[in-house]
Chains A and B, each alone.
Chain A
Amino acid sequence: MSEEEKVTPEPIAKPTFKWMGLTNQWDVRVEPNEHGLRLGDLNVGIYGEVPEYWEDQTRRPRGSVGRPGIPPLSYSLRYKHDVWADCAADLYEEAIQRQWIPATDVPWNTLETLPEEIEKAVCQVCTELSQYANSEIEIISHWQDEMSYGFHEVKQYLATVFFDCARHVEALRKRALSNGGGLGIESKGVANRMILQSSGGWTESVAYLYLVRGTYVFHLIKGLHNSAHNEAERFIYKQMLQDHARHLTYGYDHLKYAVTHKDGQTQIMETLLAVGEGIMARELDTSLIRPAMAIIFGEGLEGAKTKGMDSYLALVKDFVADYVEICGWLGIEKTGRLNPALQQYLDL
């Protein structure tokens, strides 16, 4: 290239300051209260206007000035009733305050050698519960990508759930690999598949993830907590219980919002749950969590056949009873309409 052909670079642009006058609302002074400065406190003026439908298809933060020419992104969840729960901002604050560190918070030195059959049962439960948590991570990450930025409280809250689940996977794996055992057999994944293949919208996934499977998981963790063999296990399950209670709170609250704000959603839910109940019943039948929990409750193989199994069945009965009650709270009548495979647990 000759000297004449060399391209002269464009000069560095001089800064402009026209943007400084552009704002939708200025002079906002949200002040902290006795609880500090919380996410929900920022919902003042236009910044607190959560639309029923978010027109914008960009990553524009709610309340900021839109910029012409930004190519649209493919957000499919643009109605408030697709994602919303009034408690999301509060749950976000609660979640970030209640983090725990499995590496150092769990009193690992309290682990003691357990009879091999019990260690195997604990490790099997840890294996399958960690898969449950992984499927929760996957389904949330899938739908996060589809959620509009108009509902940023929900997006932020779900980011904490994502992290909670990662921590559950971590803690369960650590428990399985720290007491002379090891990971057990992979779950058949019946319920995991139901959740991961729920493609009709986030609400459908929430119904399966939290109302159907999550309610069961909650009872499982409670059972594990009450049967903990040492302080380390007790701490893990106690913290998981608290985290999972937050997850369920969002899940139930979102479903309530959806059925009360979207025409026909109750009927859709009835159809979805009829399918989900059958799959959940199959999960209960095929998962190795059942015999493993019976061993834990029965304190060994012998006890598993009697009081262990009885305790597990009582746990499932409690789960189904809770499920029916929450459905009722959502306006979905289940009495007389429950899948017979789940009804049998109620009839025990």
Chain B
Amino acid sequence: MPVFPSEEWFVAVREEYNKDPSLHSGGGGACDTVSGLEIADRFYRIQFEGHQCVDIHESSKTDIEDLDFVISMPEETWRKMVKDIQKNGKASALLTLNSIDLSSEESIAYSPIDDQYRQDLFYRYNQNFQDLMDASARVETSFE
């Protein structure tokens, strides 16, 4: 059973997300970005092309200037969201990326090079990311 967070887990989620177009409804459109997910000391590079998540792999938090934005939340918040998705089939109202972003002191997304244009991509695309995370409802998950 894949453990959250791990590359194995994200790959399993990606496969669920890619194979079912009904999971692509929230964003409602194509998403083209290379971004990062920061979970405590773990870092994942993630790439969307159109309606597909074409790549996600564990990486390091170095050489990330090419990323449009990085979503960074405390590990506890990530876990809370994923557990909530496991329980309810999708993130409930106050545990979506949008909601967490507002209730956080600082935005949960940042541009590694402080590029406002690329930072704004988070707000244009976060529903696609939410769809991907919601696909984890279909992945049996261990939290260790």
Contact yes or no, A241 B98, CB < 8 A: yes
Smallest Cβ-Cβ distance to B115: which chain A residue: A329
A265 to B74, CA, bound (A): 41
Among A100, A231, A252, A326, the residue within 8 A (CB) of B28 is A100
Contact yes or no, B117 A249, CB < 8 A: yes
Smallest Cβ-Cβ distance to B126: which chain A residue: A242
Stretch in A71-79, A221-229, A288-296, A333-341 with 4+ CB within 8 Å of B: A221-229
Q: A242-B124, A248-B120, A249-B117 are in contact. Are A97 and B28 (CB under 8 A)?
A: yes
A252 to B93, CA, bound (A): 30
Contact yes or no, A245 B28, CB < 8 A: no
A246 on the B face (CB < 8 A):
yes
Contact yes or no, A249 B124, CB < 8 A: yes
A226 to B127, CA, bound (A): 15
Smallest Cβ-Cβ distance to A245: which chain B residue: B123
Chain B residues lying within 8 Å of A34, measured Cβ to Cβ, are 49-50
B116 on the A face (CB < 8 A):
yes
Stretch in B58-66, B99-107, B134-142 with 4+ CB within 8 Å of A: B99-107
B29 on the A face (CB < 8 A):
yes
Smallest Cβ-Cβ distance to B50: which chain A residue: A35
B8 on the A face (CB < 8 A):
no
Among B29, B49, B124, the residue within 8 A (CB) of A245 is B124
A99 on the B face (CB < 8 A):
yes
A234 on the B face (CB < 8 A):
yes
B32 on the A face (CB < 8 A):
yes
A204 on the B face (CB < 8 A):
no
Contact yes or no, A222 B120, CB < 8 A: no
Chain B residues lying within 8 Å of A326, measured Cβ to Cβ, are 116
Chain B residues lying within 8 Å of A329, measured Cβ to Cβ, are 114, 116
Contact yes or no, B29 A241, CB < 8 A: no
Q: A245-B120, A248-B120, A329-B114 are in contact. Are A99 and B28 (CB under 8 A)?
A: yes
A248 to B124, CA, bound (A): 10
Minimum Cβ distance to chain A for residue B144 (Å)? 31
Task: Enumerate B31-57 residues with CB–CB distance to A below 8 Å.
Answer: 32, 49-50
B27 on the A face (CB < 8 A):
yes
Minimum Cβ distance to chain A for residue B8 (Å)? 27
A248 to B28, CA, bound (A): 19
Q: A97-B28, A245-B124 are in contact. Are A226 and B94 (CB under 8 A)?
A: yes
A146 on the B face (CB < 8 A):
no
B30 on the A face (CB < 8 A):
yes
Chain A residues lying within 8 Å of B28, measured Cβ to Cβ, are 97-100
Minimum Cβ distance to chain B for residue A244 (Å)? 8
A242 to B131, CA, bound (A): 14
Minimum Cβ distance to chain B for residue A231 (Å)? 8
Smallest Cβ-Cβ distance to B124: which chain A residue: A245
Chain A residues lying within 8 Å of B99, measured Cβ to Cβ, are 225-226
Chain B residues lying within 8 Å of A223, measured Cβ to Cβ, are 102
Smallest Cβ-Cβ distance to A219: which chain B residue: B102
Chain B residues lying within 8 Å of A252, measured Cβ to Cβ, are 116-117, 120
Contact yes or no, B117 A222, CB < 8 A: no
Among A93, A222, A325, the residue within 8 A (CB) of B101 is A222
A146 to B114, CA, bound (A): 34
Contact yes or no, A87 B49, CB < 8 A: no
Contact yes or no, A238 B98, CB < 8 A: yes
Q: A225-B98, A228-B93, A238-B98 are in contact. Are A35 and B32 (CB under 8 A)?
A: yes
Q: A222-B102, A234-B93, A326-B116 are in contact. Are A246 and B124 (CB under 8 A)?
A: yes
Contact yes or no, B49 A35, CB < 8 A: yes
Chain B 81-122, CB within 8 Å of chain A: the 1/0 string?
000000000000110001101110000000000101100110
Q: A222-B102, A234-B93 are in contact. Are A94 and B30 (CB under 8 A)?
A: yes
Closest 6 CB pairs between A and B?
A: A97-B29, A245-B123, A98-B29, A226-B102, A98-B28, A245-B124
In the assembled complex, 18 residue pairs joining A and B whose CB atoms fall closer than 8 Å, in A order, are: A34-B49, A34-B50, A35-B30, A35-B50, A87-B117, A98-B28, A222-B102, A223-B102, A225-B102, A226-B94, A241-B123, A245-B120, A245-B124, A249-B117, A249-B121, A252-B117, A256-B116, A256-B117
